[in-house]
Structure 1
Amino acid sequence: MPDDFDYCETLVREGDKDRFVAALFAPRQHRRSLYALYAFNIELARVRELAREPMPGEIRLQWWRDVLGGLRTGEAGPVASALITTVARYRLPVDVLLEMIEARSFDLYDDPMGSLSELEAYADKTSSALMTLAAQIINDGQETGVAEPARHAGIAYAIAGLLTALPLHAASRQLYIPLDLIERHGARPDNVFARNGTPGLKVALAELRDVARRHLSQLTIADIPQVLVPAFLPAALAAPMLKRQERDVDPFSPSPLPLWRRQWLLWRAARHPRRIVDR
């Protein structure tokens, strides 16, 4: 009979194929726990979609805080149960998970991302934190010392993903492109929501791609022990995604990397980790 971890594996296979494939390169004994962590991330990422309004979304995020605080043990679902087991087994820092929850509260509202520093902080507490926690799982619960490379890898991957998701976020009036960056180039949030790729907006998006590349350039693969590379594999998709976006004439009609190519890039980076920072 499928257990909580099987449920998490299925959820990640269907909802986050990049991390699902990346986890396949981790030692077998740690994969189920990686899927529990990644399933938790999926649950947080889709709170807005499921709740539809900020208040129910905040209640759901508070529920997750209660789970991590040990207040919901009798009513935890499969993802929560698997996460609790994983946190205990690998001594994952609960404060980092709580910061992930706190960062996701931004998703519930239509307020724009105010500045580049705010975007980087958001990506650091979500995408980068996920890589740091995944590395600790692969390292059997021991400290890894990879917070700095995880920060750069996570931010680059997050920015590439947010740029790919620009049409989806525009349709729901969410603005992850920093407001100060947009306004500096003479564009407005309404240009995004109207899917109007003005020259100023395109320059702002190009600058944001450069920010992602700068983070990749600061990522030193030698700082990542070979055994921990699977935690960082999603970052191998950042540069190809950014290149693909540059070729798109209309930023609101992107041509995402096909699934087969994403899987091949992950496989290649697993064999040759230096490919993670290909720019």
Structure 2
Amino acid sequence: MAEDFEHAADVVRQYDKDRYLSALLAPEDHRPGLMALYGFNAEISRIREIVSEPLPGEVRLQWWRDFLEGTSHGAVDGNPVASALAQTIDRYKLPKNGLIAMTEARIFDLYNDPMPNLNDLEGYTGETVSGLIQLACWVLNNGEDTGTATAAGHAGVAYGMTGLMRALPWHASRHQMFLPKDVLDRHGVDLRTVFKGEATPELAAALSEMRAHVRHHMSRVKQAASDVPDTCRAAFLPLSLVEPFLKKMEAADFNPLKDVAELSQLRRQWILWRASGKSVASL
């Protein structure tokens, strides 16, 4: 029903402004499908914020896994986002394994375990962000595989890592750390100082290395961009915000534990609109 997709769009507008704006720049016929996908992503990514402890969060994620696997449980009719997603899966014949992998990866969000190493972080952002880009491409290509796995893989890692660095003050305030332990250890970062909100030269060096990793993945997107059909451009549009965010973080007076790299909505809209007329290689 149209109301389900309208509700999903409201969820995306509230919790994922970048993807909401990028979906508005997609072909009108496929916008509802994108909003359903992005609404699902918003729902599972904010579970940590709406539960008081991990177990209820795991129950919520299990509900989504059961829904995707077709296991009998509470009526989907009571969840407009799930209903919109079910209709989108049917229309575009979306592969459910990618959606299920997204729910499984989000279990990490519920705990304060350290991210072991850079490879694990790339795997996490691959499941949670790259997979979403691939599914968005599937929708934009009217239910056909686009062969964009390589470009989407690197794009998701770049966008995901950037988002986690932007969220560092928020995560550190609750003693959660997504920056990989091997990178932190390489630069001698003491997590006790991070959790106390004390920015140090060691942390600055670790974040500088992380920004270099992001730019490496951005360069790999450009190398693989020839495999991305024009129909899928809207799925990659949020990537156009990565470099502006990185530059904000590199400002001399930027405190990575106090400040959030932010762009005004007007500037975001302008960047995304301008990018919508370019090839993925130019993002």
Q: Matched residues in 1 for 2:7 and 2:112: separation? A: 32
Which of 230, 243, 268 is residue 239 of structure 1 equivalent to? 243
Query: Equivalent of 2:226, from 207, 219, 222?
Result: 222
Equivalent position to 2:166, from 155, 164, 167? 164
Give the structure 2 partner of residue 254 of structure 1: 260
Alignment partner, residue 84 of structure 2: 82
Distance in structure 1 (CA, Å) of the matches to 2:33 and 2:72: 20
Contact kept? 2:63, 2:73, Cα under 8 Å = no
When the two structures are superposed, what TM-score results if normalisation uses the length of structure 1? 0.95
For residues 124-162 of structure 1, what are the alpha-carbon distances to aligned partners after superposition, in whole Å with 9 as ceiling and x for unaligned?
Answer: 001111100000001110011001000111111111111
Q: What is the alpha-carbon distance in structure 2 between the residues aligned to residue 165 and residue 26 of structure 1?
A: 27
C-alpha contact (below 8 Å) 2:245/2:261 kept by paired residues: no
Could you say what secondary structure the match of 1:195 adopts?
Answer: coil
Q: 1:175 to 1:254 in 2, by over 3 A?
A: same
Contact conserved, 2:57 with 2:110, CA < 8 A, in 1? yes
Q: Does 1:26 align with 2:30?
A: no
More divergent stretch after superposition (81-90 vs 33-42): 81-90
The alpha-carbon deviation at position 73 of structure 1 amounts to 6.6
Correspondence for 2:277 among 248, 271, 274: 271
Q: Tell me, in whole angstroms, the C-alpha distance in 2 between the residues paired with 1:134 and 1:64.
A: 19
SS of the residue corresponding to residue 102 of structure 1 reads helix
- 1-side partners of 2:72 and 2:184: how far apart? 42
Output the CA distance in 2 between the equivalents of 1:271 and 1:12: 23
Q: 1:108 aligns with which of 87, 107, 110?
A: 110
Letter in 1 for 2:278: H
Match of 2:256, SS state, is coil
Cα deviation digits, residues 72-122 of structure 1 (max 9, x gap): 475121111111111111111111111101100000001011100010000
Indicate if the aligned counterparts of 2:66 and 2:73 stay in contact, CA closer than 8 A. Answer: no
**Structure 2 residue 137 is the aligned partner of structure 1 residue 135:** yes
Query: 2: distance between equivalents of 1:72 and 1:215?
Result: 40
Q: What root-mean-square deviation, in Å, do the aligned CA atoms of Structure 1 and Structure 2 show?
A: 1.5
Partner of 1:98: 100
- How far is 1:223 from its partner? 2.3
Conserved? CA contact 1:36–1:86, under 8 Å: yes
Question: 2 CA distance for matches of 1:2 and 1:136?
Answer: 21
CA 173–50 in structure 1, closer or farther in 2 if over 3 Å, else same: same
Q: How many Å separate the matches in 1 of 2:180 and 2:282?
A: 26
Distance 1:149 1:73 in 2: 36
Supply the AA of the counterpart residue of 2:238.
Answer: P
Residue 64 (structure 1) aligns with: 64
Secondary structure at 1:3 match in 2 = helix
| SS, match of residue 256 in structure 1 | coil
Q: More deviation in 44-53 or 250-259?
A: 250-259
Unpaired stretches in structure 1, ≥5 consecutive residues: none
- 1: CA distance, partners of 2:247 / 2:84: 37
Measured in 1, the distance between the counterparts of 2:19 and 2:266 equals 14
Look up the equivalent residue of 2:249 and give its one-letter code.
Q
5+ residue gaps, structure 2: none
Deviates more, 1:241-250 or 1:37-46: 241-250
2:232 is aligned with what amino acid? L
Letter in 2 for 1:47: I
**Contact 1:30-1:137 within 8 A present in 2 as well:** yes
Which structure 2 residues correspond to residues 137-152 of structure 1 after superposition, within 5 A? 137-152=139-154
Mapped partners of 1:2, 1:132: distance in 2: 24
1:243 CA displacement? 1.1
State the alpha-carbon separation in 1 of the partners of residues 122 and 271 from structure 2: 25
